[in-house]
């Protein structure tokens, strides 16, 4: 899911930055998986606990 797709799913397709901001402030990120949201170009974007944690979570899920 990209940030653009996430914004569209929220009914606000032009609010990509706001969608990314929602993910960045997600206090329950380990339970509500905002770490799975990527930029439209496939790059990781940001994550409240850093990109290494995001990479680690995605890698763990990919191997499961």
According to DSSP, residue 30 is labeled T
Residue 8: its pLDDT value, please?
94
- Which residue out of 34, 35, 37, 47 is catalytically annotated? 34
Residue 41: its pLDDT value, please?
94
Residue 13: its pLDDT value, please?
95
Q: Are 5 and 11 in contact (CB under 8 A)?
A: no
Q: Are 22 and 3 in contact (CB under 8 A)?
A: no
Residue 36: its pLDDT value, please?
86
CA dihedral 19, 20, 21, 27 (to 10 degrees): 100
Encode the chain (64 residues) as per-residue pLDDT tens digits.
Answer: 888 998 999 899 999 999 888 887 776 655 667 788 889 899 998 888 899 999 999 999 898 7
Residue 32: its pLDDT value, please?
61
59-to-12, 56, 62 alpha-carbon distances in Å: 30, 5, 5
Is there a catalytic annotation at residue 23? no
């Amino acid at each position: 899911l990209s940030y653009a797709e996430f914004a569209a799913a929220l009914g606000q397709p032009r609010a990509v930055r706001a969608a990314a901001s929602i993910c960045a402030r997600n206090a329950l990120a380990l339970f509500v998986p905002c770490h799975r949201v990527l930029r439209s170009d496939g790059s990781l974007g940001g994550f409240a606990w850093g990109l290494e944690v995001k990479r680690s979570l995605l890698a763990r899920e990919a191997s499961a």
